[in-house]
């Protein structure tokens, strides 16, 4: 009646909206748009945690392969639809009709548990890590931070070298990275309705970003 435009954003979308600016999907896509597609495709369910772990396990088994739209539909066990094409396009950074499904899983983790930054990072490590030693490379760390934290402009070389004390060219989640993150209480809070409202993914990302910045500043000292 008032002819005022409205949106169909949910309470969870509002949480993600507060997180925007620190989170960035590939090609700078709006996270709210991704969250709406997740809902419209029926991906976010009561058992999203179990579904997320299943996605993570199967994404790891792909070992960095870049599936097509049809492969992605099969991965999600969904038919090809307009919404699915739209979601696929969000991650087709190279515009070569392929995507890295691990980036989808990381974004899906953000949508499902916006107050659990460290859990998202841990899952990302599990998908990228080498099977023989559970380690990731510098480029893989950059991809993880870019997708999960939206710090694509951050140069990770010095950070990587600081964690990689043995100069092996690889790091693990448990090697200083996670230990240093535990210095920030916001990364370890148990989510509750009040906590989710007050300590969103934005605050968690800011804490981790401050940790990274502090680490790099210390290296210059």
The predicted-structure confidence for 101-153, as pLDDT tens digits, reads as follows: 999 999 899 888 877 777 888 899 999 988 888 889 988 988 887 777 655 46
Least confidently predicted of 4-18, 64-78, 203-217: 4-18
DSSP state of 28: G
* Residues whose CB is less than 8 angstroms from the CB of residue 173 and which lie 6 or more positions away in sequence, other chains included: 121, 122, 125, 126, 129, 134
- What are the b/e assignments for 45-55, b being 16+ CB within 10 Å? eeebeebbeeb
Q: Please name the residues in contact with 90: beta carbons below 8 A apart, sequence gap of 6 or more.
A: 25, 26, 27, 29, 33, 34, 37
Torsion sign (Cα): 11, 15, 18, 19: negative
What is the length of the chain?
221
pTM confidence score: 0.71
| pLDDT for 215 beyond 90 | no
Question: Do residues 209 and 22 make contact, with C-beta atoms less than 8 angstroms apart?
Answer: yes
Residue 158: count of CB within 10 angstroms of its CB? 14
């Amino acid at each position: 009646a008032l002819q005022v435009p409205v949106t169909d954003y949910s309470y969870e979308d509002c949480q993600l909206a507060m997180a925007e600016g620190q989170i960035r999907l590939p090609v700078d896509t709006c996270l709210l748009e991704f969250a709406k597609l997740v809902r419209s495709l029926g991906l976010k369910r009561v058992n999203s945690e179990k579904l997320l772990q299943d996605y993570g396990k199967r994404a790891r088994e792909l070992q960095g392969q870049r599936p097509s739209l049809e492969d992605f539909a099969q991965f999600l066990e969904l038919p090809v639809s307009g919404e699915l094409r739209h979601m696929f396009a969000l991650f087709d950074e190279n515009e070569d009709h392929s995507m890295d499904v691990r980036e989808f899983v990381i974004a899906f983790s953000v949508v499902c548990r916006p107050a659990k930054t460290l859990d998202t990072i841990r899952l990302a490590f599990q998908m990228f890590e080498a099977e023989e030693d559970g380690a990731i490379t510098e480029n893989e760390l950059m991809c993880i931070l870019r997708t999960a934290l939206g710090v694509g402009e951050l140069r990770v070389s010095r950070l990587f070298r600081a964690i990689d004390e043995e100069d092996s060219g690889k790091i693990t989640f448990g090697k200083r990275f996670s230990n240093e993150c535990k210095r920030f209480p916001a990364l370890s809070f148990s989510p509750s309705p009040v906590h989710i409202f007050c300590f969103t993914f934005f605050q968690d990302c800011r804490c981790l970003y401050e940790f990274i910045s502090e680490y790099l500043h210390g290296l210059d000292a």
